Amino acid sequence: MEAGERWGRLRRQAAEYYRGHRVPERMEEALNTLFPLCPGDLYGELANYFSKFSKAPVICKLVGKKVLDGVGQPTLEVEVYCTVKNYEKRICSIVMASHSQTPENALPETIEADEKERNVSVHTAVEWVNESLNTMLRGLEPTDQCQADKMLGEYFANKVEERKEIQKREEDAAKATPVPASCPPTPITKQKRGGKPVKKVVVEENPIPPAEPAEPVLCGSLAIGGTSLAIAKAGATISRVPLYLYIALLKHNQESPKEMTLPLPMVTLLNCEKNLPTKLKLVKEVMLIPPVELSLKQGIERILDIQKEMTRVLESSGKMPGPQADSKKGKAQSSGKKALPPPLKRISHLGCLTTGYDNLEQLLLLMQTACKNIGLELGTDMYLAINCAAHELMDYDKRKYEILTGTFKSPDEMVAMYVEMVNNFPFIIALIDPLRKEDREQWSSICCALGSKCYLIAEDAATHISKLKTDQNIAKCSGVVLKYINQTKVSDLIEFTGILDGQRQVTILGSPDGESLDESLVDLAVGLGARFLKLGGLSRGERVAKYNRLLAIEEQLAANGTLR
């Protein structure tokens, strides 16, 4: 009797529980809806029908791992696990690209110190993800990007304050330690014969703004950018939309764009290392930009043709092809001697040929010759962009840029040189970092002189994204290369690209030096509506994977009828 009563009570409780969740009503709706369809997989369709009533997935675990990037440097991987229909499920992962501010001609001890710092930073980032961030973000819906980035920003701000307090304590401790007094050195003076001592007076000529200190990077900051991007990718996966569309929806307040434009690729053809024995130092990268009337697939195929021909020309023996002797510098350097072909060393970490030249005209005329050999014309069928990396050229003792070995130019002379270059070679449509960021007066001059003919783009001449949003003292330019590194969050990119759009400046998404096979950067560029995408060359798997992703997005947009 008691067992019967208990059973009856359980039945009533079960009925109330299921009625409270409208299970009988929805079961009847499902059966009535599916019967006319007679699906082949009835239980699969029932599962699909009821899944729309399930709770939204929430983050249950973040996992940080130390992995290697495309050049063998340590970097951070972030995995996102969510509770989906009561089960823990791995949703996605991202690998952050590593970025170094150490120039290529740095001293060995500087490079070694940078590598040690990178290892410590990655180790700290892994700890942040697995401990603090894992606990902090547990239970958050991955589709709530705004809240996730807000929490990540607050966490990072607290870490910055903690670091400042530690530094202050260290400084106070250092001040409290007595320092032994030392006598100041006696100045050495020269004495004229039969005369009074004469002190040497140093007259400063043509002062230049001193180099601004490198933007400090907080140890472990990779965790912030990595977690933000991983959550965005998880949100896209949960929402069953591609990441590029998910980013576009975030930028446009969930309004689905009717048309989307692909960024034009800046494909690196040549990497001219500045520590080669050749004289030219002005050029770090030579990039090809296909004309807008070509599809991405057609543009990539054309660039590959130029790359093959350029390789053949560089490897051929004998004197330089083309009319290089027509240039003034070519005449001076080639008179009476056969010019040797530039050395073809290897494929660089940027995924392109590494070579060097003795002057700019030699390089540009060789490019023209290679294009003409396959029936193409620079300025019509293909365009050039040049990364000057001017911050690596400044000789602070001479207060001038060393553009060729032993040849120096002041900032004002650099502006005049660029004007002449673009006038003589109008197929150059973009200059990246033509000047240091500190030469703001010359940035204004060059923008006035060339702004209507050529994109003048700041890459290293721009500051960190977190400062770009608030720092109004930025060099005047046509656009900025943005890199997804360190504490950059998805919301930061969305906000700052909106600022650039409002100022009619172009956005270029750039690939850092240490890339991985992660393709998220391409989706970010498409979703944010970037004008250009700077990925490096068409070699090395981590570079080519991104071009393949861009080609796949082009096919998807064309199939959907949303490709503009």
Place of tokens 């509770």: 83
Q: Is 62 helix (H, G, I), strand (E, B) or coil?
A: strand
What's 393's DSSP letter? Answer: T
What's 540's DSSP letter? Answer: S
DSSP string for 475-511: PP-SEEEE---TT--HHHHHHHHHHHHHTT-EEEEE-
Q: CA distances (Å), 379 to each of 101, 289, 324, 384, 427, in order? A: 33, 10, 19, 8, 4
Q: Is 8 helix (H, G, I), strand (E, B) or coil?
A: helix
**Helices within 341-424 (DSSP H only):** 360-373, 411-424
CB hemisphere CA count around 106 (13 angstroms): 13
Say how far apart CA 142 and CA 334 lie, in whole Å: 64
Say how far apart CA 36 and CA 26 lie, in whole Å: 17
Inter-residue contact 137 to 62 (CB < 8 Å): yes
Inter-residue contact 77 to 67 (CB < 8 Å): yes
Query: Is 105 annotated in the active site?
Result: no
Closest CA to 348 of 52, 71, 3: 71
Inter-residue contact 506 to 531 (CB < 8 Å): yes
Catalytic: which of 130, 134, 486, 560?
Answer: 486
* Bridging pattern class, strands 285-289 and 197-198: unpaired
Q: Which two tokens stand for residue 265?
A: 């690729």
Inter-residue contact 265 to 511 (CB < 8 Å): no
Q: Which two tokens stand for residue 424?
A: 């003589």
Closest CA to 321 of 384, 269, 381, 371: 371
Which H helix or E strand runs over 150?
helix 145-176
Say how far apart CA 224 and CA 207 lie, in whole Å: 40
Inter-residue contact 252 to 497 (CB < 8 Å): no
Q: CA distances (Å), 51 to each of 54, 236, 252, in order? A: 5, 18, 28
Say how far apart CA 91 and CA 238 lie, in whole Å: 8
Q: Which residues are catalytic?
A: 486
